[in-house]
Structure 1
Amino acid sequence: MSSITSEVSLREKVAYGCGDLSSNLMWGMTSSYLMFYYTDIYGLPVVAVGWILLVARVFDAFCDPAIGYVIDRQGGQIVPRLIRSLALPFGVAGFVCFVSLPLSPNGKILWALLTYIVLGAIYSCINTPYGALGTMITRQAHDRVGLNAFRMMGCQGGQFIVSLFTIPAITWLGGGNSMVQRQHGMALYALCLAIAATILWRYVGRVCITRYPPAPARHSPVVLLRALAQNRCWWLCNGLVFLQFAGLAALYGFALYYARIILGGMDEMGGVLLTVATIMGFAGAIICPHIVRRLGVIGSAAACGGVQVMAYLLLGLAGDCVPFFFAAFAMLTLAQGITSPLYYVLLAHGIDVGRMTSPVNTAGMAYSINTLVTKLSMGVTGFILATFLAHGHYAGDVHTFSPALKHWIMAGFVWLPLGAAALQLVLLAIWPRGVASPVTRRNP
């Protein structure tokens, strides 16, 4: 350990960011294009899609705490080995999730459900140790902000690649716009992303250093959960993350439908929306540390939450006015980009608070349940969005849209995440003032 420098290098920060870059090459595909793939490319009924998105999250309820328990019992040194070992299975599962087998209607539903469950399980087993890795690399607050800023830049970089290239790549690789051609194009594109994701995860496991690995904790799950239950900051972080990912799931899950049905564009316009979102999110992650130095973590999160609420109201007023819409959309996604790293900083701080107030090491379980919360948020939101589509009688092969469908698209893209953003402000307002921020405001 003495030969390992305590300073977190730029190379290590970049490597840490590659973890979320890898995640969002594959998992980002599920948040942005999985519903569209199921309804418009694989031809699944909208109602079935909603249940697939929800049921898969029920299985994750077992996977996430299980891998967190393993990390706590084995100690922090197992984390890099888990990441390296699961890099290839993660890529394979992501590829298979977008392979369109020529099955019966019920067979297609079962195949989609099975492959999505497998991807979610492997994602749990690699992303949970990745999340816990941040607290093991450094205990310095400013380094944690930097690590999570690079993490969010990696996240937005993955989303940018997915947003910009997916629709053109499907057509180009498939050789046309028929359903069969798009299925082939999607499979080839997913294969390219899977190879890149595997290489990136291996890089994370090789470069990142666990300077402060927790010792093995031989506590029962009941003891771990009891210790977590007494950690108010951890509870609040989970609530904030649930609401944040509900807004992100609505944005990325409904962007293609909003572009076509409300703005009157083609699928490519949906890709433009997602590209703008990722560019602004990336910019937000870059400027996040500078905002934190001025306002602190809680102040920055609250300010950006207020901007999000205002932006959603402007989106509701914009209607099909494209320039007005894009101005409000850029404001929204920039604020989301600034906010995203902050909740991981608060989560790490909450775990530190728990470590100081309890002898029980709960880092693995805390991050695993937090990962579960993010996926549960995406699953519940996806189910709600699919239900909205069903109420609007959406069909992928129909090009004339009813006023009722437009109403439900607005509800899913604007009003639902508006409520989530407003609730985030409530949770930030009741954050314990004694532990208000791991990075305090600095005077200029």
Structure 2
Amino acid sequence: MMRPPAPVPPPPARVGLKEIVAFGAGDAGFNIIWGLMLSYLAYFYTDICFFPARMVGFMLLAARAASLVTDPAVGLWIDRRPPGHQALPLLRGGLVPFMVLVVLTFVPLPRGWPIVARALCAGVAYMALCVSYGVVNTAYGVMTSLISSDPAIRLRLATSRMVGATLGGLVVSMVTLPAVDFLGHGNRQAGFALFMMVVACVVGALVWLPARLCHERVATAGGDMAPRQLVVSLLANRAWRRLTGAMLLTMLGSTFLFGALVYDVRYVLHAGDHMAGWLLGMMSLMVLAGCGLSLPLCAWWGPGAVMR
């Protein structure tokens, strides 16, 4: 008895340029916040809020540790959502709390409060921002796989995302301190508070674009898999281990590079802190050049050779 022919899968839905550009705009918004947290938050805590460096280090460590729990939990929750409504509801619903926490994290508390109370409030606000950032950013990142199953479209989405991320980092590195001084008329506590209100509105608009204009067309598999089984399968995936290791090394390097630059310029080079913004902007331009070179180099040599 002959088996019926296997059904031909439908061609992937068309993804237009507007959707691809909107997707890249989302990462521009996220990287504005990421750049602020990475390059200026420690400086804000130590040199503007006058918290001891050890206290600041503990606050940053505790907040990032919270993200290690929330980010995988968000991923599991998205896997168990119904097709077509996996990531977008979380991206849309988490946008307003994310914007509010962006402002609260950079609002200086009254100097009359005890330093422990001020540090506790600041640490809680930053931890909440990290959790909120992880929730919304994880939902956004999953959209790369949900928008289309076509590898060519996914490559265009990833490229748009990298360009948006680099442009967001470039803007925040060049604009932050001049805008803070302009808005605060030399008072950086007031300047940061006003600047972050503007940033929250800009970032909210940028992240709203993919939340509004992008569409889920692909359902992820593995929603019924137990968390333990999922972890075991990931650890057994050699390609996943290699890519995750490369990403960890990249994030470790960028954290040291961008996080220490403002302090290096001020206390080692004894230059004005505005110079740190120009150096950060120059590095962002170099990253943008690297994004432009990566695709032709990968087509020529292969991704493995380019990474090595």
- Do they superpose with TM above 0.5? yes
2:184 pairs with one of 174, 178, 191: 174
After TM superposition, list the pairs within 5 Å mapping 1:223-234 onto structure 2.
223-234=229-240
Is contact 1:38–1:44 with CA below 8 Å preserved after alignment? yes
2:81 pairs with one of 74, 79, 87: 74
Matched, 1:301 2:304: no
CA distance in 1, matches of 2:21, 2:62: 35
Change (3 A) 1:185 1:3: farther
What secondary structure does 1:125 align onto? helix
By how many angstroms is 1:67 displaced?
0.8
**Alignment correspondent of 2:54:** 47
Matched, 1:245 2:255: no
CA distance in 1, matches of 2:89, 2:214: 11
By how many angstroms is 1:264 displaced?
3.2
Change (3 A) 1:300 1:216: closer
**Alignment correspondent of 1:217:** 223
Change (3 A) 1:155 1:52: same
Change (3 A) 1:3 1:43: farther
Q: How many residues align?
A: 297
By how many angstroms is 1:216 displaced?
7.2
CA distance in 2, matches of 1:285, 1:107: 44
Q: Greater CA deviation, 203-212 or 92-101? A: 203-212
Q: TM-score normalized by structure 1?
A: 0.64
CA distance in 2, matches of 1:75, 1:60: 25
Matched, 1:112 2:122: yes
CA distance in 2, matches of 1:92, 1:276: 30
Matched, 1:197 2:207: no
Percent identity between the two aligned chains: 33
Which ranges of structure 2 fall in alignment gaps of 5 or more residues? 1-8
**Alignment correspondent of 1:165:** 175
Deviations 1:382-416 (Å, cap 9, x if unpaired)? xxxxxxxxxxxxxxxxxxxxxxxxxxxxxxxxxxx
The one-letter code of the counterpart of 1:66 is: A
Is contact 2:28–2:168 with CA below 8 Å preserved after alignment? yes
By how many angstroms is 1:4 displaced?
9.6
**Alignment correspondent of 1:14:** 21
Is contact 2:12–2:150 with CA below 8 Å preserved after alignment? no
Matched, 1:91 2:99: yes
**Alignment correspondent of 2:262:** 256
By relative contact order (CA 8 Å, sep 6+), the higher-ranking structure is 2
CA distance in 2, matches of 1:205, 1:5: 21
**Alignment correspondent of 1:143:** 153
Change (3 A) 1:8 1:107: same
Which ranges of structure 1 fall in alignment gaps of 5 or more residues? 303-444
Change (3 A) 1:291 1:9: farther
CA distance in 2, matches of 1:220, 1:81: 23
By how many angstroms is 1:118 displaced?
0.3
CA distance in 2, matches of 1:298, 1:3: 32
The one-letter code of the counterpart of 1:112 is: A
CA distance in 2, matches of 1:130, 1:231: 24
What secondary structure does 1:74 align onto? coil
2:65 pairs with one of 51, 58, 62: 58
Q: RMSD across aligned C-alpha pairs, in angstroms?
A: 1.9
**Alignment correspondent of 1:127:** 137
Is contact 2:26–2:208 with CA below 8 Å preserved after alignment? no
Is contact 1:150–1:285 with CA below 8 Å preserved after alignment? no
By how many angstroms is 1:143 displaced?
2.7
**Alignment correspondent of 1:28:** 35
Q: TM-score normalized by structure 2?
A: 0.91
